[in-house]
Chains A and B, each alone.
Chain A
Amino acid sequence: MTAVQMRAKHVTRRFGAFTAVNDVSMQVQPGEVVGLLGANGAGKTTLIRMLLGLIAVTSGSVELLGGPPDRERRRRLGYVPQGLGLYGDLTVRENLSFSARAYGAAEPVLPPALTAHADVLVRELPLGVQRQVAFLAALAHSPEVLVLDEPTSGVDVLASAALWDTIRTQAEHGAGVLVTTHYMQEAQQCDRLLLMSNGQLVAQGSEADIVGSTTAVAVHTSDWAQAFAALNAAGAPVMLEGRAIRVANASPAKLQEVLNAAGIEATVQPVPATIEERMLVLARAANAS
Chain B
Amino acid sequence: MFGVRSATVRFGHTLALDDVTVEVPGGSVVAVVGGDGAGKSTLLRALVGEVPLDGGTVEAPPKQRLGYLPASAGSWAALTVRQNIDFVAGIYGLAGEELTARRAELLDRASLTPAAGRLAARLSGGMRRKLGFIMAIVHRPALLILDEPSTGVDPVSRIDLWRLVSEAAASGAAVLMSTTYLDEAERAAQLVVLDSGRILVHGSYDQVRAGFAGVVTQTDEPVRAEWAWRRGRAQHEYWPGADPPPGTTVVAPDLEDIVIALSLVRRNEVLS
Query: Digit string of A126-163 for contact with B (CB within 8 Å is 1, else 0)?
Result: 11100000000000000000000000011111111100
Q: How far is the CA of A154 from the CA of B256 in the complex (A)?
A: 14
Q: Which residues of B contact A229 (CB under 8 A)?
A: 170-171
With A168-B233, A229-B170 as contacts: A241 and B163 at CB distance below 8 Å:
no
CB distance from A176 to the nearest CB of B (A): 14
Contact across chains for B169 and A240 when beta carbons are under 8 A apart: yes
Q: Are A238 and B151 in contact (CB under 8 A)?
A: no
The answer to whether A156 touches B159 (Cβ under 8 A) is: no
- 1/0 per residue, CB under 8 A from B, across A259-289: the answer is 0000000000000001111011001000000
Query: Which segment of B3-11, B91-99, B224-232, B242-250 sits at the interface?
Result: B224-232
Q: Write 17 A-B pairs (CB below 8 A) sorted by A numbering.
A: A128-B35, A155-B180, A156-B34, A156-B35, A157-B182, A160-B35, A188-B232, A189-B232, A190-B232, A237-B159, A239-B162, A240-B165, A242-B205, A275-B155, A276-B155, A276-B156, A280-B156
Interface residue B122 (Cβ < 8 Å from any Cβ of A): no
Q: A190 CA to B231 CA in the complex, in Å?
A: 9
Whether the Cβ atoms of B35 and A154 lie closer than 8 Å is: yes
**Please, which residues of chain B bring their CB within 8 A of the CB of A155?**
35-36, 180
Q: Residues of B contacting A54 with CB < 8 Å?
A: none
In the bound complex, do residue A184 and residue B189 qualify as a contact, i.e. CB atoms below 8 Å apart? no
Shortest A57–chain B CB gap in Å is 25
Check if B183 is an interface residue, CB within 8 A of chain A: yes
CB distance from A177 to the nearest CB of B (A): 12
Q: Are B230 and A165 in contact (CB under 8 A)?
A: yes
B260 contacts A by Cβ under 8 Å? yes
State how many residues of chain B have any CB contact under 8 Å with chain A.
Answer: 49
The size class of the interface chain A forms with chain B is: 35 or more
B195 in contact (CB, < 8 A): yes
Are A157 and B260 in touch, CB under 8 angstroms?
yes
A40 to B157 CA separation, bound complex (whole angstroms): 10
CA distance A189 to B254 in the complex (A): 14
Binding site for A on B (CB under 8 A): 27, 29, 34-38, 124-126, 151, 154-156, 158-160, 162-163, 165-167, 169-172, 180-183, 186-189, 195, 204-206, 229-233, 256, 259-260, 263-264, 267
- A2: interface (CB < 8 Å): no
Contact of B155 among A190, A228, A280 (CB under 8 A): A280
A127 to B35, CA, bound (A): 8
Taking the complex as formed, is A7 at the interface, i.e. its CB lies under 8 A from any CB of chain B? no
| Given A127-B36, A158-B264, A240-B189, A276 and B256 contact (CB-CB distance below 8 Å) | no
Shortest Cβ distance from A234 into chain B, in angstroms?
A: 13
**List of B residues within 8 angstroms of A98 by Cβ:** none
Q: Which residues of A contact B260 (CB under 8 A)?
A: 157-158, 161
Q: A40-B126, A155-B36 are in contact. Are A239 and B159 (CB under 8 A)?
A: yes
Give the interface of A toward B (CB within 8 A).
39-40, 126-128, 153-161, 164-165, 168, 182-185, 188-191, 224-225, 228-229, 232, 237-243, 246, 248, 274-277, 279-280, 283
User: Which A residue sits closest to B172, measured CB to CB?
Assistant: A225
Contact B36 A242 (CB under 8 A): no
**Contact in complex: A283, B35 (CB < 8 Å):** no
Most buried by B among A164, A232, A239, A280: A239
Q: How far is the CA of A229 from the CA of B109 in the complex (A)?
A: 13
Task: Give complex CA distance A237, B162 in Å.
Answer: 10
Q: Is the CB of B156 within 8 A of A158?
A: no
Chain A residues, Cβ within 8 Å of B263: 156-158
Chain B residue, CB-CB nearest to A161: B229
Given A275-B155, A283-B156: A239 and B166 interface contact (C-beta under 8 Å): yes
B25 to A: closest C-beta gap in Å: 12
A-B CB proximity, top 5 nearest: A156-B35, A127-B36, A161-B229, A40-B154, A240-B166
Query: Which B residues are CB-close (under 8 A) to A277?
Result: 159
Q: Which A residues are CB-close (under 8 A) to B230?
A: 161, 164-165, 168, 189
Report chain B residues within 8 Å CB of A184.
181, 183
Chain A residues closer than 8 Å to B29, beta-carbon distance: 240
Inter-chain pairs besides A157-B256, A157-B263, A161-B230, 5 sampled, C-beta below 8 Å: A157-B260, A161-B260, A240-B162, A240-B187, A242-B187
